[in-house]
Amino acid sequence: MAIWQGKRSLQVVTLALQGELFALEAGRVHEILDRVPVTEVPGGPVFVSGLINVRGKVVPLADLRMKFGMECTAATIDTRIVVIDVTLGGEIVSVGLLADKVYEVTELQAEVLEDTPRIGMRWRPDLIRCVGKRGRDFIAVLDIDKLFDEGDREAVAGNASAAPAQDAA
């Protein structure tokens, strides 16, 4: 289960969402983009509400802040899009993730990585792969596949419930 097993360290990209530090496995990150124009998808899932053009490819753009129930603030000069590979129903799909700020690529040593504690987390533990310690900070490494696996199901459910709600209004 533990992803760092057999390895001495885990290479991650660290980023900030509403001031909280998160990490993504660096091996799955394709590139980091400045903000680009986003096309809204009417009726799409809230969590993945837009599409962007990543060098000729149409890539869904996800906002993790929605997933974690964070406040959605406007883009700043630091806003970046992290393009990452996600396994969706057996297929590998490139997805863009909005980040308020991207810090660096760094190594988390094996000894500072721990399984996700069940209690004491602000975030739903099943979306976090493990927690690492860097200096005095704790960094949650996100379980990307899990995040989108749910996003997929919500997308369908969200659509079904959105339409009648609109009609009733």
Partner 1 sequence: MSGVDPTETFRQEAQELLEQLEQTLLDLAKAPEDLALVDSTFRALHTIKGSGSMFGFDAVAGFTHHVESAFDMVRKGQVKLTPALADVALAAKDYIRALIERPDTTAAEDGAAILERLEAAVGSTGAGGTAAAAPKAAMAAGRAKWQVKFWLPPNALATGTNPLLLLDELRGLGEATVTPLLDRVPALEDLNPADIHIGWDVSLITDKPKSAIEDVFLFVLDDMEIAIDLVETLDAPAAAPKTEAAPQPAVAKPAAAKPEAAAPKGGSGSIRVPAERLDNLMDRVGELVIAQSRLKQVAAASRDAEFKSISEEIERLALELRDTTMGVRMVPIAQLFGRFRRLVHDLAHELGKDIALVTVGEDTELDKTVIEQLNDPLVHLIRNSIDHGLESPEQRLAAGKPAQGQIRLAAQHTGDKVLISITDDGKGLDRARIQARAEEHGLIQPGAKLSDSELFQLIFQPGFSTAQQVTNLSGRGVGMDVVKRTLDSLRGSIDIASNPGTGTEITLRLPLTLAIIDGLLVRVGQGRYVIPLSAVEECVELPAEEAGRANGCSFLNIRDELVPFLRLREMFKTTGEPDRYQKVVVVSSNDSRVGLVVDQVIGDHQTVIKSLSKLHAGIGTFSGATILGDGTVALILEIANLVAKGQVREPLKLAS
Name which of 132 and 151 has its Cβ closer to partner 1. 151
Closest CA to 68 of 87, 42, 47: 47
x/- track of binding to partner 1 for residues 44-73 (CB under 8 A):
xx--x--xxx-xxxxxx-x-----------
CB-neighbour burial class of residue 153 (10 A; exposed 0-12, middle 13-18, buried 19+): exposed
Minimal CA–CA distance to 24: which of 118, 146, 155, 153? Answer: 146
Name the segment binding partner 1 (CB under 8 A); options: 70-78, 105-113, 123-131, 161-169.
161-169
Mapped onto helix, strand or coil, the DSSP state of residue 161 is helix
Binding status of residue 96 toward partner 1 by CB under 8 A: no
Instruction: Answer yes or no whether residue 113 interacts with partner 1 by CB under 8 A.
Output: no
Residue 163 interacting with partner 1 (CB under 8 A): yes
For residue 114, report the phi and psi dihedrals to the nearest 5 degrees: -135, 155
Residues of this chain that interact with partner 1 (CB under 8 A) are: 36-37, 39-45, 48, 51-53, 55-60, 62, 88-89, 91, 93, 95, 148, 151-152, 155-156, 159, 163, 166-168
